[in-house]
Chain A
Amino acid sequence: MRKARLPGFALAIPAWVWLATFFIAPVAVVFYYSFGYKPGLFGTHATDRLSLDRYVEVLTPTFFETFVATMWIALAGTALCLVIGGPVAYWMAVKAPPSWRGLLLALVLVPFWTNFLVRTIGWQVILAPEGWMSQAAQAIGLPAFDILYTRTAVLLGVVYNYLPLMILPLFVAFDRVGEPLREASRDLGANRLRTFWRVTLPLAQPGIVVGMLLVYIPLMGDYITATVLGGAKGNMVGQMVAAQFQTAQNWALGSAMAVTLVIVIVLSAAVVGGLCWLGTWPLRRANRVVLDAPEEVTA
């Protein structure tokens, strides 16, 4: 009865072709470059001799320290976003009057939709040692701000910039649990803490994981925040990679760094995910519901 159907993936072909041409192909080329070397002062890359030497170079302490520092900032930033944004998302989804929700969500979205760079510059103005905030602090006897261009400033900027990306999925996750289930839990005699621990949190867990990934992954590659608030001291991997291409003109090393960055992101996300899974094992075990009726009751 039916005429010949298009294959299922037909509608995905345009997107596939686009991504193959402008994502897979260029990234594959960079992957290839990463096995090459820098020939002399004026060349950017050569691939007539292929080796893993650039990766060895990336793993030397000079460069690898930056990887570790970036990962530290990314992990700390993600954890802080979770700790700061979690209660807000919970309040918005569970405790706040439902009629406020639209407004509250808009309040989270406005900073998210303000230009990333401009928001960060706003912090630069606030934190400036000679700015009015600093003067106000001095007026009431506090020391002048001197955190601009330090790791603390970078961390603050990073938490600020990625906080909406944590609040939104957490809000959706907490909201999805729904009032009826919480009510049921309370009706069945669980107190508030128990309801949170055994109903709300386990059901919201996928959203929490999504939020953490949404913050952690872009944060690992971000270097704009560090450039604006960290100056020279807030060195991130992204800055290092960019410098290899823009100033040092060593494309082979830069490519190896870029590939290592992607590997580090995927591996560390997997490790953190695995640790979270292991860490919540007692929780899941305690929450396990045995659906089979006990023998003695059925007998």
Chain B
Amino acid sequence: MSAPTTAPTRTRTPRRPLLDRLLPVWAVVVFVFLFAPIIVIVVYSFNTGRLLASFDEFGFDSFLALFRKPVLMDAVLVSLRTGAIAAVLATLLGTLAGIALARRPGKWTAWFVGLLILVSVTPEIVDAISLLPWLVFLGQDLGLSIFNDGTVRLVIGHSLFSVAVVSYIVRARLVGLPANLEEASADLYAPPLRTFRKITLPLAMPAVLAGLLLSFTFSLDNTIVSSFVQVSGATPWPVYVLSALRGGLRPEIAAVSTIMLVLTLVALGVVALVLRRAGDSSTQIARTLAGG
């Protein structure tokens, strides 16, 4: 990057060290490893056989099953709906908390960060077994019927971890940016709410978007909590797959997965475009996604 004004470029020894030649080979091996099962799923979604694992003939039957079996479509829709609501909710709560952590730190921060850490180290299964009796208590013993609704239960279960993650990401983003602009805005007599809307929020935007996307993905992936808190009639996709696992997997599962993979790729592309237009380099995007 720096301008080569000083030393004249020294001709390097032509033979590159062994390690430099091995590293890309290793990277290729790892990328093949990472994509192997995904490629297998995509290929097997064109399997016309009865069972997923034994490839019969090439065909599109499994994709048509989506229209013949409303259960499949319902499960996917439940997942998408829950994912969208949980992501928006977690992003809202997490963004506000992250801004408070970054801009108004105080004695309370240690306690709150402690809570967030506790939420993020608690394994999903512990959330699952504690939420189930609690939701039953709220819904049936206290008579708050909203907690008997399938979507509400799923959204609650999926939001916990995501709130913590979004808070971290937004905090990390804002801590890296000095508060100069907000101070200038306040000095120029902007009311706090306008400063928040015009300065703080746009600054935090890449992190907010990354948080939204991550929350959505976590929700789509969530299997353990979902399988505990779900009510019949609102079974999300992963729980459907898990129950199908016991009865023998059919190629439809792979077909739906392939469709969802394509949708994910499109979403990923859109977010990358938005972040890039917001001026982030790909490295910054990764930094945001990795939480700091």
Q: Are B130 and A106 in contact (CB under 8 A)?
A: no
A199 interface residue (CB < 8 Å to B): no
Within A119-148, which residues are at the interface with B (CB < 8 Å)? 119-126, 128, 130-132
Contact code string A6-22 (vs B, CB < 8 Å = 1, else 0): 00111110111011001
Chain B residues near A78 (CB-CB < 8 A): none
Chain A residues near B272 (CB-CB < 8 A): 102, 106
Which of B115, B264, B291 meets A114, CB within 8 Å? B264
Q: Are B121 and A224 in contact (CB under 8 A)?
A: no
- Of chain B, the residue at the smallest CB distance from A206 is B292
- Of chain B, the residue at the smallest CB distance from A14 is B93
Chain B residues near A266 (CB-CB < 8 A): 121
Once the chains are docked, how many angstroms separate the CA of A28 from the CA of B115?
Answer: 13
Which of B1, B128, B221, B283 meets A115, CB within 8 Å? B221
Q: How many A-B residue pairs have CB under 8 A?
A: 267
Chain A residues near B64 (CB-CB < 8 A): none
Given A12-B101, A95-B23: A238 in contact with B119 (beta carbons within 8 A): no
Contact code string B116-131 (vs A, CB < 8 Å = 1, else 0): 0011111111111111
Once the chains are docked, how many angstroms separate the CA of A168 from the CA of B118?
Answer: 22
- Measured CB to CB, the residues of B under 8 A from A are 1-2, 17, 20, 23-24, 26-27, 30-31, 33-38, 40-41, 44, 52-55, 92-94, 96-97, 99-101, 104-106, 108, 112, 115, 118-134, 137, 156, 159-160, 163, 167, 217, 220-221, 223-224, 228, 237-238, 241-242, 245, 249, 253-254, 257, 260-261, 264-265, 268, 272, 282-283, 285-287, 289-292
Which of A84, A125, A192, A220 meets B37, CB within 8 Å? A125
Within A81-111, which residues are at the interface with B (CB < 8 Å)? 84-85, 87-88, 90-92, 95-96, 101-102, 104-111
Minimum C-beta distance from B34 to chain A (A):
5
Within A206-222, which residues are at the interface with B (CB < 8 Å)? 210, 217-218, 220-222
Once the chains are docked, how many angstroms separate the CA of A24 from the CA of B253?
Answer: 36
Chain A residues near B137 (CB-CB < 8 A): 29
A-B contact pairs, 16 of them (CB 8 A): A8-B105, A11-B97, A15-B97, A22-B131, A23-B118, A30-B133, A88-B30, A101-B282, A102-B282, A118-B41, A121-B245, A125-B40, A210-B290, A220-B123, A222-B124, A223-B125
Q: Are A113 and B268 in contact (CB under 8 A)?
A: yes
Q: Are B159 and A262 in contact (CB under 8 A)?
A: no
Which label, helix, strand, loop or mixed, suits the secondary structure of the A interface?
Answer: helix
Chain A residues near B115 (CB-CB < 8 A): 16, 19, 23-24
Once the chains are docked, how many angstroms separate the CA of A184 from the CA of B150?
Answer: 59
One of A50-58, A251-259, A272-280, A283-291 contacting the partner: A251-259
Chain B residues near A115 (CB-CB < 8 A): 220-221, 237-238, 241, 257, 260
- Of chain A, the residue at the smallest CB distance from B118 is A23
Minimum C-beta distance from B189 to chain A (A):
11
Q: Are B23 and A90 in contact (CB under 8 A)?
A: yes
Q: Are B134 and A25 in contact (CB under 8 A)?
A: yes
Q: Are B94 and A15 in contact (CB under 8 A)?
A: yes
Which of B33, B96, B160 meets A160, CB within 8 Å? B33
